[in-house]
């Protein structure tokens, strides 16, 4: 990893690694009593009764493994190894998280006799460089990403040839409702990146980006635009760490190959003022490396739990003040708890990203800062961030 | 289940249930020696080394579960409970199938200490009403569904409102290369159904329907057309049996809701001569129940390991001889071994489907019969069947 990249990534990691504990923590204290109104999680496999969630946000697991010696669930009290299941007379293992989990989507897996397996009851989602089990703790504001009877856009799998990698690569393109019928209209495009260990399926599977846009468009809150989602770890580091990370291969695929492909094959408005780049976590890190260095391509830039913009960034990036129409930064509130972030790495003074965003605004940039209440480095933060971001994009 | 439906389903089951053993059987005798050229299966999770397959089609599994008492794999010698893994000193369980598996795609799962889990090394595919592990034994003719540098169509997820079920339902629509650019062209449509326990993801995930069409179109062997894939077990019987199966809810969704939606939202040629219905296994059964009764909607009908057409069908179905442009029937060769199929249920004389297809042809119908060599009731049979079927469709 080049030093510049390493430094930027270290900054980003303050958010992502620092909040990894939030992902598995039970932030609220254990309630005095557990309300027995458990229902199957909404992302269970068809017909599966477990895992379940109650109205307090407490999760209960049930796994059949009659001859196993131990079964654990990676969700629950982070520091204490998750939730240990206990074996019943019928050979099933059950357990309940000690306290409520944060609202929203959580990845998890089982440890059965020392091996890592998925919960047969839950659907799988690509995260942590593997297909993990997922559970959904119903959010009080879940309506904004609910599947409703409104006009729906499509999520289109495209396969494009990439000369630089000599592969056929996959992207998903959200086309808004009416895209096919309004055959003379052209649309702006948001390039939207997943986080480390995830892939191009994340934003539609666990992010519900399509449903968020469907609902925003139906209520007149966002302008119809395309969303393009592709795999961002081009110099494939799965399943290892980030040691070999290099932004160049992905930058080439995105800027030199995918953008021209999308502009040639979809009815886009193919200029910087109608193109945005955003990403979550590592995807925000990539966004910050790519978009400011390509302001002839992108005028809207958003980092979701993936770093901040500083006045220094603005001053040292040619054209930033003049060309950037929006510099959007968001975090989950748990990522900010007890910690300032976004300052220079290596022991310099830590700058609270709220302060940094305000300073960027004072410097004359349309800087918007959003904090998702009571969420950590997880998808409810990013669903909400997209809900906040989308109405701000492409204001001609 | 209504008697007529039950009878037809029983006929279909001769193929599907009868060949369930073929799915896990090792038809070839165990080779004298195992060639040590094992490579990771092509449908492993990214970066995962196991499961592996060698040049003889033998599969090897490796699972980490240091404290487990027993680990089995459901693939291998069917009647003898699959492949039993043995524990090494390092806590990993390994095992090799006793003989070669059939070429193509196989679903499987692990049994770890009596519980059913997926192999953490393999990707998951929806089959048997659950997300199962999958493994791919390289087929000698795999080129026809390979991902190549040819113009690619898209697989578009659409969400459509269904008044009869009061749900927003999902379908995937393959649009051929050039669909978006040729904005004045209209296209024929194939409605293509999955089998029992599968869903609308099957034909593109494990079936590679999109790649098969991309390659056929690139080589000039098939006319560009749309493929629509939706969930066919509308009165959701997952994960139970077929006892409550009723064709009506699905027929309503398909004929009264999805077809009008597709014709309104895609540039289709919206008449019977440009509309086909095909399905595999239970999907073939559904096709036979729906298409011949709606010959004003479908002129091309195909049953893939999902029943046969008899002269009786032809004679008793008004308009069959006049309106049906193609009656296509296919099976895997292992489904036909030692067994005649397609005759009337309840102990009547069993009719070999080859004989039946020939009789239908003699009756004046464009009857085509295809047998996939050395495959059973599995996806390589159906990939090949689609390859054979597509060039025969929509011959204006």
B243 burial type by CB count under 10 A (0-12 exposed, 13-18 middle, 19+ buried): exposed
Q: Which token pair is A265?
A: 């094959």
Nearest to A158 among B48, B120, B154 (CB): B154
Residues B196 and B63 placed together within one structural domain of the fold: no
Residue A317 belongs to a domain: yes
A168 vs B148: CB contact, 8 Å cut-off?
A: yes
Residues B249 and B213 placed together within one structural domain of the fold: yes
Residue A26 belongs to a domain: no
Rounded to the nearest angstrom, the minimum Cα separation between A394 and chain B is: 24
Find the residue in A nearest to B64 (Cα): A115
Residue B60 belongs to a domain: yes
Could you count the other beta carbons within 10 Å of the beta carbon of residue B293? 15
The confidence score (pLDDT) of residue B123 equals 98
Nearest to B117 among A48, A112, A168 (CB): A112
pLDDT of residue A278 exceeding 70, the answer is yes
Nearest to B65 among A113, A148, A180 (CB): A113
Residues A122 and A161 placed together within one structural domain of the fold: no
Residue A281 belongs to a domain: yes
Whether residue A131 has a cis bond before it, omega within 30° of 0: no
Give the mean model confidence (pLDDT) for residues A5-14: 35
Structure-model confidence comparison of residues A21 and B238, the more confident one: B238
Q: For the sheet containing B59-64, what is the strand order?
A: B39-40, B52-53, B59-64, B92-96, B86-87
Residues B9 and B94 placed together within one structural domain of the fold: no
Residues B258 and B359 placed together within one structural domain of the fold: yes
Residues A245 and A122 placed together within one structural domain of the fold: no
Lowest mean pLDDT among A108-112, A156-160, B345-349: B345-349
A66 vs B266: CB contact, 8 Å cut-off?
A: no
Structure-model confidence comparison of residues B352 and A19, the more confident one: B352
The confidence score (pLDDT) of residue A3 equals 35
Mean pLDDT for chain B overall: 89
Q: A7 Cβ partners below 8 Å, 6+ apart?
A: A344, A345, A346
Task: Report pLDDT digits (tens) over A23-48.
Answer: 444 445 667 799 999 999 999 999 99
The confidence score (pLDDT) of residue B243 equals 63
pLDDT of residue A199 exceeding 60, the answer is yes
Task: Report pLDDT digits (tens) over A290-325.
Answer: 999 999 999 999 999 999 999 999 999 999 999 999
Nearest to A120 among B64, B70, B130 (CB): B130
Residue B358 belongs to a domain: yes
Residue B25 belongs to a domain: no
Give the mean model confidence (pLDDT) for residues A133-147: 98
The confidence score (pLDDT) of residue A181 equals 87
Residues B299 and B154 placed together within one structural domain of the fold: yes
A240 burial type by CB count under 10 A (0-12 exposed, 13-18 middle, 19+ buried): exposed
Rounded to the nearest angstrom, the minimum Cα separation between A166 and chain B is: 9
Residues B153 and B196 placed together within one structural domain of the fold: yes
Residue B24 belongs to a domain: no
Give the mean model confidence (pLDDT) for residues A257-272: 98
Name which of B141, B109, B156 is nearest B266 in CA terms. B156
Residues B76 and B217 placed together within one structural domain of the fold: no
Q: B337 Cβ partners below 8 Å, 6+ apart?
A: none
Residue A24 belongs to a domain: no
**CATH number assigned to the domain comprising residue B84:** 2.60.40.10
Choosing from B78, B113, B137, the residue where a domain stops is B137
Q: Count chain A–chain B contacts defined by CB atoms under 8 A.
A: 145
Q: CA-to-CA distance for A156 and B153, rounded, in angstroms? A: 10
The confidence score (pLDDT) of residue B7 equals 33
Within 8 A of B265 by CB-CB distance, chain A residues are 180-181
Rounded to the nearest angstrom, the minimum Cα separation between B136 and chain A is: 18
Rounded to the nearest angstrom, the minimum Cα separation between A251 and chain B is: 21
Task: Report pLDDT digits (tens) over B249-271.
Answer: 999 999 999 999 999 999 999 99
Residue B344 exposure: Cα atoms within 13 Å on the Cβ side = 9
% of chain A surpassing 90 pLDDT: 80
The confidence score (pLDDT) of residue A369 equals 98
Within 8 A of A70 by CB-CB distance, chain B residues are 67
What range does the domain containing B129 cover? Answer: 30-101+104-137
Find the residue in B nearest to A262 (Cα): B180
Q: Which token pair is A288?
A: 């910050």
A123 vs B114: CB contact, 8 Å cut-off?
A: no
Structural domain count, chain A: 2
Q: Which helix (H) or strand (E) holds B371?
A: strand B367-372
Residues B212 and B268 placed together within one structural domain of the fold: yes
Residues B128 and B161 placed together within one structural domain of the fold: no
**CATH number assigned to the domain comprising residue B216:** 3.40.50.1820
Rounded to the nearest angstrom, the minimum Cα separation between A23 and chain B is: 22
List the pLDDT tens digit at each of the 396 positions of chain B.
Answer: 333 333 333 333 333 333 333 344 444 556 779 999 999 999 999 999 999 999 999 999 999 999 999 999 999 865 467 999 999 999 999 999 999 999 999 999 999 999 999 999 999 999 999 999 999 999 999 999 999 999 999 999 999 999 999 999 999 999 999 998 888 999 999 999 999 999 999 999 999 999 999 999 999 999 999 999 999 986 555 555 566 678 999 999 999 999 999 999 999 999 999 999 999 999 999 999 999 999 999 999 999 999 999 999 999 999 999 999 999 999 999 999 855 444 444 444 467 899 999 999 999 999 999 999 999 999 999 999 999 999 999 987
Find the residue in B nearest to A68 (Cα): B113
pLDDT band at A125, cuts 50/70/90?
very high
B238 vs A46: CB contact, 8 Å cut-off?
A: yes
Q: CA-to-CA distance for A283 and A277, rounded, in angstroms? A: 10
A124 vs B131: CB contact, 8 Å cut-off?
A: yes
pLDDT of residue A9 exceeding 60, the answer is no
3-state secondary structure of A173: strand
Residues A116 and A156 placed together within one structural domain of the fold: no
Mean pLDDT for chain A overall: 89
The confidence score (pLDDT) of residue B9 equals 36
Name which of B277, B363, B352 is nearest B320 in CA terms. B363
Nearest to A113 among B48, B67, B239 (CB): B67
Find the residue in B nearest to A238 (Cα): B47
Whether residue A51 has a cis bond before it, omega within 30° of 0: yes
Within 8 A of A229 by CB-CB distance, chain B residues are none
Find the residue in B nearest to A239 (Cα): B47
């Amino acid at each position: 990893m080049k030093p510049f990249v390493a430094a930027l990534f270290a900054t980003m990691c303050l958010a992502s690694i620092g909040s990894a504990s939030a992902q598995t923590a039970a932030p609220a204290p254990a309630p005095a009593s557990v309300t027995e109104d458990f229902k199957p999680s909404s992302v269970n496999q068809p017909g599966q009764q477990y895992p379940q969630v109650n109205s307090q946000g407490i999760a209960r697991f049930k796994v059949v493994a009659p001859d196993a010696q131990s079964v654990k669930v990676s969700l629950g009290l982070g520091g204490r190894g998750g939730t240990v299941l206990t074996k019943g007379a019928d050979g099933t293992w059950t357990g309940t998280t000690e306290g409520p989990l944060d609202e929203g989507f959580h990845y998890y897996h089982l440890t059965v006799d020392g091996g890592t397996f998925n919960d047969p009851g839950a659907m799988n989602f690509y995260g942590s460089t593997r297909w993990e089990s997922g559970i959904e703790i119903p959010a009080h504001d879940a309506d904004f990403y609910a599947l409703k009877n409104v006009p729906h856009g499509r999520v289109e799998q495209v396969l494009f040839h990439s000369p630089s990698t000599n592969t056929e690569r996959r992207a998903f393109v959200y086309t808004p409702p009416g895209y096919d019928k309004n055959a003379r209209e052209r649309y702006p495009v948001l390039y939207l990146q997943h986080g480390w260990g995830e892939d191009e399926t994340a934003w539609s599977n666990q992010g519900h980006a399509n449903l968020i846009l469907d609902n925003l468009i139906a209520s007149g809150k966002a302008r119809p635009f395309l969303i393009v989602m592709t795999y961002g770890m081009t110099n494939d580091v799965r399943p290892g760490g980030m040691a070999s990370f290099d932004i160049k291969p992905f930058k080439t695929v995105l800027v030199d190959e995918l953008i021209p492909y999308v502009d040639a094959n979809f009815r886009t408005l193919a200029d910087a003022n109608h193109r945005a780049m955003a990403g979550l976590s590592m995807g925000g890190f990539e966004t910050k490396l790519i978009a400011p260095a390509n302001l002839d391509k992108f005028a809207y830039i958003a980092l979701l739990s993936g770093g901040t913009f500083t006045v220094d960034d603005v001053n040292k990036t040619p054209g930033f003040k003049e060309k950037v129409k929006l510099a959007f930064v968001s975090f989950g509130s748990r990522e900010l708890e007890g910690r300032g972030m976004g300052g220079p790495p290596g022991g310099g003074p830590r700058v609270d990203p709220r302060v940094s965003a305000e300073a960027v605004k004072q410097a004359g940039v349309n800087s918007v800062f959003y904090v998702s209440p009571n969420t950590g480095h997880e998808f409810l933060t990013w669903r909400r961030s997209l809900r906040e971001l989308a109405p701000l994009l492409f204001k001609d």
